[in-house]
Amino acid sequence: MNSRMKKQKNAKGKPRRSYVAPVAIKMHVKKGDKVKVLSGKDKGKTGTILRALPKENRVIIEGVGMVKRHTRAKAGQSSRIIEVARSIHASNVVKTA
């Protein structure tokens, strides 16, 4: 094995994998659509899409999937707890009229 082949192997002796960038998927929903959640802890809830993330095939829906985030105290501000909407996989939502 020459030095070039050693560089192409990782620590376990297996060949290195090349990085493949994620491809944006055509989504069946877009920003502003009214949708209903089909599965998960927010099953049955409805809301409008605030943001669509085609590379991850996920959507952020207003008032659905809310989680609490703790923020640190900064100069002139105290620490606080804020609610932020988390993303949901696009296959778990359906358009409503």
Q: Is residue 11 part of a domain?
A: no
Q: Diameter of the chain by CA atoms?
A: 64
Rounded to two decimals, what is the model's pTM? Answer: 0.70
2 is written with which tokens? 């020459």
**Phi, psi angle pair for 51, to nearest 5°:** -155, 140
Go through 36-47 and write b for each residue having 16 or more CB atoms within 10 A of its CB, e for each that does not. Answer: bbeeeebeeeeb
Q: Is the pLDDT of residue 2 over 60?
A: no
Residue 38, domain extent:
22-95
Q: What is the pLDDT of residues 27-86, one digit of tens each?
A: 999 999 999 999 999 999 999 999 999 989 999 999 999 999 999 999 999 999 999 999
Q: Is residue 8 part of a domain?
A: no
CATH code for the domain in which residue 35 is found: 2.30.30.30
Q: Is residue 15 part of a domain?
A: no
Length of the chain equals 97
Q: Is residue 70 part of a domain?
A: yes
pLDDT, greater one: 77 or 10:
77
Go through 78-93 and write b for each residue having 16 or more CB atoms within 10 A of its CB, e for each that does not. Answer: eeeeeeebeebebebb
pLDDT, greater one: 84 or 7:
84
What distance in Å separates the CA atoms of residue 29 and residue 46, rounded to the nearest whole number? 14
Q: Is the pLDDT of residue 10 over 70?
A: no
Q: Is residue 4 part of a domain?
A: no
What is the band of 90 on the pLDDT scale with cuts at 50, 70, 90?
A: very high
What distance in Å separates the CA atoms of residue 58 and residue 67, rounded to the nearest whole number? 16
The domain total for the chain is: 1
